[in-house]
């Protein structure tokens, strides 16, 4: 049943996720993949979501789309309040069945997603044009001839060479960069309010990746859509994001504007990520984060980063999850160093990076 909350969001907020918890059932039992995530994305803005592999970035995006397989996934609790621009309603997506008519009318139309691997995300048995046309026919209520023309126009818009010819190409006939452009065309064919880009430049060479990022930025500005950009590449996030959420083992450990995060990181994990990046002009040894990410079924009690944290102390870090602390406008950190002390380790100087 749809939960309509007309006053839940301001006019500029497209989606707000509150205390999202997602578990997966595995052989060892139930393990948390997302554990209390809260984010907000505004119209025309980009939220970058960063963290090591397995921290819950992609699961959060798939949860918003209601594309998690159930089972083994279980959306335990939380709210995903989406401001539907076409009707002005605020809908709690958590209350919708993944295969309900209303969720299907939102997915691909109001909220779209660019997946990590276009070769495995596009169906090899259908042409690029047929896969773009499917969403247009379903959501825009037009005939196949009109849908085909719109698909060609969208392919041309994303810089696909010879769009009137490649609209009839199969995925295996296109290069990686062309496939990524085709997937962007499919995602944006209905002009969504929210785009979730999950590692959109994975496996692309640096030149093609830069072209794809420039294209996405141009289309976002043109359409005024909100974007959730998932990546492990901090350099990419520094260029495309307005705000950044840093995730570790299913939790957001730090959230701030892109400038605050890169110039003044507060959480030891964020600082560790910064120390791991080569800095142009400074000949110094990189400092990797010690240890490895724990298995999902062996997450430490309290602060999940404690076993790898260079500043951990049992006297200051009790075995309960640290609360969120506001350290500046829009800058929140989950760390006992900020809860119980007035000082933290000096953050790395990243002014030479930008980027």
Residue 132 belongs to a domain:
yes
More confident residue, 341 or 282: 282
Per-residue pLDDT band at 170 (split at 50, 70, 90): very high
Residue 126 belongs to a domain:
yes
**Residues 215, 219, 224, 226: is their CA dihedral positive or negative?**
negative
DSSP string, 257-294: EHHHHHHS--SHHHHHHHHTS--TT------PPSS-PP
- In 3D space, the residue among 15, 24, 176, 193 whose CA is nearest the CA of residue 109 turns out to be 193
Q: What is the C-alpha to C-alpha distance for residues 210 and 216, in angstroms, rounded to an integer?
A: 10
Q: What is the pLDDT of residue 347?
A: 45
Mean pLDDT of 206-222: 86
DSSP code of residue 295: P
Residue 135 belongs to a domain:
yes
Sheet with 90-92: strands ordered across:
29-42, 13-26, 73-83, 90-92
Domain count, the chain: 1
Q: What is the C-alpha to C-alpha distance for residues 8 and 17, in angstroms, rounded to an integer?
A: 12
Q: What is the pLDDT of residue 176?
A: 81
Q: Which residues of 125-135 are buried (b: 16+ CB within 10 A; e: fewer)?
A: eebbbbbbbbb
Res 53 pLDDT > 80:
yes
Res 128 pLDDT > 60:
yes
Q: What percent of the chain shows pLDDT beyond 70?
A: 91
Q: What is the C-alpha to C-alpha distance for residues 44 and 197, in angstroms, rounded to an integer?
A: 14
Residue 155 belongs to a domain:
yes
pTM of the entire predicted model: 0.87
Residue 129 belongs to a domain:
yes
Residue 153 belongs to a domain:
yes
More confident residue, 4 or 209: 209
Residue 13 belongs to a domain:
no
Residue 101 belongs to a domain:
no
Q: What is the pLDDT of residue 30?
A: 86
- In 3D space, the residue among 261, 193, 255 whose CA is nearest the CA of residue 227 turns out to be 193
Range list of H helices, the chain:
57-65, 101-106, 118-121, 128-140, 144-157, 163-166, 176-188, 206-223, 234-240, 258-263, 268-275, 336-340
What does pLDDT average to over the chain? 85
Q: What is the pLDDT of residue 8?
A: 53
More confident residue, 238 or 27: 238
Domain span including residue 133: 120-190
Could you identify the residue written with the tokens 């309290």? 302
Q: What is the pLDDT of residue 258?
A: 94
Q: What is the pLDDT of residue 340?
A: 63
Quick check: bond before 72 cis, omega within 30?
yes
Res 350 pLDDT > 90:
no
Q: What percent of the chain shows pLDDT beyond 90?
A: 41
Mean pLDDT of 153-180: 89
């Amino acid at each position: 049943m749809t939960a309509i909350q007309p006053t839940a969001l301001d006019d500029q907020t497209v989606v707000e996720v509150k205390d999202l918890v997602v578990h997966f059932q595995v052989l060892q039992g139930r393990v948390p993949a997302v554990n209390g995530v809260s984010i907000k994305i505004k119209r025309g803005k980009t939220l970058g979501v960063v963290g090591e592999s397995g921290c819950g970035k992609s699961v959060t995006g798939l949860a918003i789309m209601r594309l998690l397989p159930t089972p083994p996934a279980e959306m335990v609790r939380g709210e995903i309040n989406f401001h539907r621009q076409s009707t002005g309603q605020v809908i709690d997506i958590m209350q919708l069945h993944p295969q309900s008519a209303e969720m299907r009318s939102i997915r691909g139309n109001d909220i779209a997603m660019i997946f990590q691997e276009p070769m495995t995300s596009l169906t090899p048995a259908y042409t690029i044009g047929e896969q773009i046309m499917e969403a247009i026919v379903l959501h825009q209520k037009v005939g196949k001839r009109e849908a085909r023309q719109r698909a060609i126009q969208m392919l041309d818009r994303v810089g696909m060479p010879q769009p009137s010819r490649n609209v009839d190409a199969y995925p295996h006939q296109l290069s990686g960069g062309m496939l990524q452009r085709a997937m962007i065309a499919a995602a944006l064919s209905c002009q969504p309010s929210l785009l979730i880009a999950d590692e959109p430049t994975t496996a692309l060479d640096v030149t093609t990746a830069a072209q794809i990022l420039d294209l996405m930025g141009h289309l976002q500005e043109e359409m005024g859509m909100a974007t959730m950009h998932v990546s492990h590449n901090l350099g990419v996030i520094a260029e495309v994001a307005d705000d950044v959420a840093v995730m570790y083992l299913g939790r957001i450990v730090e959230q701030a504007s892109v400038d605050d995060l890169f110039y003044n990181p507060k959480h030891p994990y964020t600082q560790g990520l910064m120390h791991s990046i080569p800095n142009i002009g400074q000949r110094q040894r990189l400092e990797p984060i010690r240890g490895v990410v724990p298995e999902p079924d062996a997450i430490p009690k309290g602060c999940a980063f404690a076993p790898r944290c260079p500043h951990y102390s049992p006297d200051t870090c009790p075995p309960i999850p640290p609360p969120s602390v506001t350290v500046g406008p829009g800058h929140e950190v989950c760390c006992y160093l900020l809860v119980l002390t007035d000082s933290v380790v000096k953050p790395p100087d990243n002014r030479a990076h930008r980027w």
